[in-house]
């Protein structure tokens, strides 16, 4: 697939997907959603970590309300089901760790695209905004799913109802994102984090993602059974054998990926 509104590069097992409409604050249009979906699936096969970031001074300003003509006549249900849902499912089901590297505004669907990643690392210029009620909508693109789980119902309700910007530092304090770093260190920091994961035990990371996400639907007995099942699978991997051997030999493990 040719990419026109994103950039997609893979180097040293790290896939970097850059939303590339800086003149529109990387607003999501139909073409961008299709390209993101394709690139995320590609990264799952060809890389050991995926980073989503934005070109220019914003991560993503959300849905492009100028996409397809009159926004007020847009079939929102169709767009969400046919375009957003495949994109978000691809991201959540990506078999490798995913990082959203957020500088500047992450608003509306852009905020919730970021929150769908496994880890969010933000510059201290970052701002998260559930802007939907400003135009008479509810949070979508997974917002009603991520927010209560990440920050609790009270804060999720306030974020959705008041539609006020949440600075990245506050988002980190609330547990909405993993960490907030000074802007001067931001690029070097997320690249180092991505490189760290790309050298790690890829199958174990897949197991972490699978087990933690399942925990919201499982009771204790079900989750303990799932842990045992996944851990049994991990115990048969070459990464586990290498990890134990490296520990006994007091050296860094050399994980080879899948």
Banded pLDDT at 240 (limits 50, 70, 90) = very high
User: Is pLDDT of 58 > 70?
Assistant: yes
Which whole-number Å values give the CA distances from 176 to 88, 209, 226, in the listed order? 18, 17, 26
Of 204, 249, 240, nearest in space to 95 by CA: 204
Residues 180-214 pLDDT 10s? 999 999 999 999 999 999 999 999 999 999 999 99
Is there a common fold for 6-198 and 202-248? no
For the cut 80, the answer to whether the pLDDT of residue 146 exceeds it is yes
Average pLDDT, the chain: 95
Region for 252 from its dihedrals, namely left if φ exceeds 0, alpha if ψ lies in -120 to 50, beta otherwise:
beta
Q: Where are the domains of the chain?
A: 6-198, 202-248
Alpha carbon distance 6, 15 (integer Å): 13
Residue bearing tokens 């509810």: 138
DSSP reduced 3-state for 32: helix
Residue closest to 141 by CA, chosen among 97, 79, 213, 214: 79
Q: Please write the tens of the pLDDT for every residue from 2-22.
A: 899 999 999 999 999 999 999
Phi/psi for 66 (5° steps) reads -95, 0
| Yes or no: domain 6-198 corresponds to CATH 3.90.226.10 | yes
C-alpha span between 93 and 96 (Å, rounded) = 9
Say if domain 202-248 classifies as CATH 1.10.240.10: no
DSSP state of 28: B
Cα(97)–Cα(61) distance, integer angstroms: 24
Q: For residue 75, what are the CA distances in angstroms to 34, 61, 79, 154?
A: 17, 20, 6, 30
In this predicted structure, what is the pLDDT of residue 210?
A: 96
Residue 90: C-alpha distances to residues 1, 35, 148 (Å): 16, 12, 21
- φ, ψ at 204 (rounded to 5°): -65, -40
């Amino acid at each position: 697939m040719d990419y026109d509104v994103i950039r997609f590069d893979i180097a040293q097992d790290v896939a970097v997907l850059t939303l590339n409409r800086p003149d529109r604050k990387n607003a999501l249009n139909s073409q961008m959603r299709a390209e993101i979906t394709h690139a995320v699936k590609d990264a799952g096969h060809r890389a050991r970590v995926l980073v989503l970031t934005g070109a220019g001074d914003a991560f993503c300003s959300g849905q492009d309300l100028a996409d397809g003509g009159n926004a007020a006549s847009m079939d929102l249900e169709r767009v969400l089901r046919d375009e957003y849902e495949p994109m978000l499912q691809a991201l959540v089901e990506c078999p490798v760790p995913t990082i959203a590297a957020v500088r500047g505004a992450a608003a509306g669907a852009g905020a919730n695209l970021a929150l769908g990643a496994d880890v969010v690392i933000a510059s201290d210029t970052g701002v998260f905004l559930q802007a939907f009620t400003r135009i008479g909508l509810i949070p979508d693109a997974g917002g009603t799913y991520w927010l209560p789980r990440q920050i609790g119902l009270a804060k999720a309700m306030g974020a959705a109802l008041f539609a006020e910007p949440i600075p990245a530092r506050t988002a980190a304090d609330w547990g909405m994102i993993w960490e907030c770093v000074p802007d001067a260190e931001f690029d070097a920091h997320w690249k180092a984090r991505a490189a760290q994961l790309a050298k790690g035990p890829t199958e174990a990371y897949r197991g972490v993602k699978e087990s933690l996400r399942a925990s919201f639907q499982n009771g204790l007995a079900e989750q303990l059974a799932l842990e045992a099942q996944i851990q049994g699978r991990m115990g048969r991997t070459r990464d586990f054998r290498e990890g134990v051997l490296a520990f006994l030999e007091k050296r860094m493990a050399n994980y080879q990926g899948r």
